[in-house]
Amino acid sequence: MTGVRSWERGGSALERTAALLRVQGAACRDIGSPLYGDLLAHAADDLLAGGPVASVLAGHLDSRPASVLALRMLGGAHALALSGQAPELAAWYPSAGGATDQEPGSPRAWSALRQTLAGQPDAIREWLNWPPQTNEVGRAAALIGGLLYLTARASLPARLVEVGASAGLNLRADQFFVPGDAGTYGDPDSPVVLSHGWQGAAPPAGPVEVISRVGGDIAPIDPASPAGRLRLTAYVWPDQADRLARLRGALAVAERVPAELRAEPATATLARTELADGTWTVLWHSIFRQYLTQEQRAELADGVARLGAAATPRARFAYLYLEQSRAGGCPVTLTTWPGGSTEILGAASPHGIPVRWGSLAR
């Protein structure tokens, strides 16, 4: 917060960017990456001292906070470590098989990152042009629960349609495993285990049958291409073992379970969606609505209303989403047609895990 305020107040572009690196580092530390917390504190000092960070970020110091320049730079360095092009950095990144720097402030990891930034500035600068793009597999814990609620209402196969699908990994949610005290779902041998995925009163037990998987995104990532896989992995923080394991498991599932993924805006995905007899058509999105303009939100609502109006007891329609609410937290919201009744099924963290189901959510 302090850093964002000083960004708004002014100071030189260099000072503002250094403040933003510190803010981003504190945020990473808060939500599970002590390593990035340490590295970005060092990077801010290095920028002010005119070190390799200053060379890499030259020309980008007027970037808005929302462009998360720090994560773009670190994504580029992480990609080099993961692809074997920065062994010095890989040695201190657990995601690349390296050790955890146990020294307070992670000085050895910082020294390695500084060396990589100094040695390969152009490769990292390329990543400054791309917005960080992730596909959080943990959010599938909410989708699976929603599918179980649907099946309990009417036992029909599901046709999944996802807008803002990124790489479409969560279109394979039914193939994942959720172990736990609050109910269990799926095959324990699945490469994706959503540990601690569910809390509270579990969704109804039952099989889920998914008969089609269709997604759209304005900037889709191909999970089958080496470049796509590297991109998705590079934006996960190197010391977040659980997120990485989920992502790598989902990439393996995507190899054997096909899904259609189109480069298109949500409006186009909605426009070509029709209901089908004997099925649930399930429109789903997660942490996507915040990127839409007011106009795009209205178009989304119109598309949902059109499909809802077309629903019959034979051709059912469900609208399920996990999105940040103004009141805090991320409710899991389900509306089903015919009828159009809406229920908050639970609430989750922004990364999806855990989902707290039932009365605990309210």
Ligand X SMILES: C[S@@+](CC[C@H](N)C(=O)[O-])C[C@H]1O[C@@H](n2cnc3c(N)ncnc32)[C@H](O)[C@@H]1O
Question: Alpha-carbon distance 172 to 250, whole Å?
Answer: 8
Q: Which is nearer to ligand X, 52 or 228 (CB)?
A: 228
Question: Alpha-carbon distance 23 to 123, whole Å?
Answer: 25
Please, what is the minimum distance in Å from the beta carbon of residue 68 to ligand X? Answer: 11
The DSSP call for residue 183 is: -
Q: Which is nearer to ligand X, 22 or 231 (CB)?
A: 231
For 43-82, the DSSP string reads HHHHHHTTSHHHHHHTT-TT--GGG-HHHHHHHHHHHHHH
Please, what is the minimum distance in Å from the beta carbon of residue 135 to ligand X? Answer: 4
Cis bond before residue 179 (omega within 30° of 0): no
User: In this chain, which residue has its C-beta nearest to ligand X?
Assistant: 164
Question: Alpha-carbon distance 148 to 208, whole Å?
Answer: 7
Q: Which is nearer to ligand X, 75 or 98 (CB)?
A: 75
Q: Which is nearer to ligand X, 49 or 263 (CB)?
A: 263
Q: Which is nearer to ligand X, 102 or 290 (CB)?
A: 290
Strands 158-163, 315-322: pairing is unpaired
Q: Residue 348 pairs with which residues in a beta bridge?
A: 330, 355
Give Cβ neighbours of residue 11 (< 8 Å, ≥ 6 apart). Answer: 19
Q: Which is nearer to ligand X, 16 or 243 (CB)?
A: 243
Please, what is the minimum distance in Å from the beta carbon of residue 132 to ligand X? Answer: 9
Please, what is the minimum distance in Å from the beta carbon of residue 91 to ligand X? Answer: 30
Strands 330-337, 315-322: pairing is antiparallel
Please, what is the minimum distance in Å from the beta carbon of residue 351 to ligand X? Answer: 9
Please, what is the minimum distance in Å from the beta carbon of residue 136 to ligand X? Answer: 4
308 with 316: CB under 8 angstroms?
A: no
Q: Which is nearer to ligand X, 165 or 315 (CB)?
A: 165
Q: At 342, is the secondary structure helix, strand, or coil? A: strand
Please, what is the minimum distance in Å from the beta carbon of residue 216 to ligand X? Answer: 6
Question: Alpha-carbon distance 97 to 116, whole Å?
Answer: 17
Question: Alpha-carbon distance 73 to 129, whole Å?
Answer: 10
Please, what is the minimum distance in Å from the beta carbon of residue 251 to ligand X? Answer: 13
Give Cβ neighbours of residue 43 (< 8 Å, ≥ 6 apart). Answer: 21, 25, 53, 70, 73, 113
Please, what is the minimum distance in Å from the beta carbon of residue 18 to ligand X? Answer: 26
Please report, as ranges, the residues that interact with ligand X according to CB under 6 A.
133-136, 139, 163-166, 216-219, 265-266, 286-288, 291-292, 296
Q: Which is nearer to ligand X, 200 or 265 (CB)?
A: 265
Structure-token pair, residue 140: 């599938």
Q: Which is nearer to ligand X, 109 or 348 (CB)?
A: 348
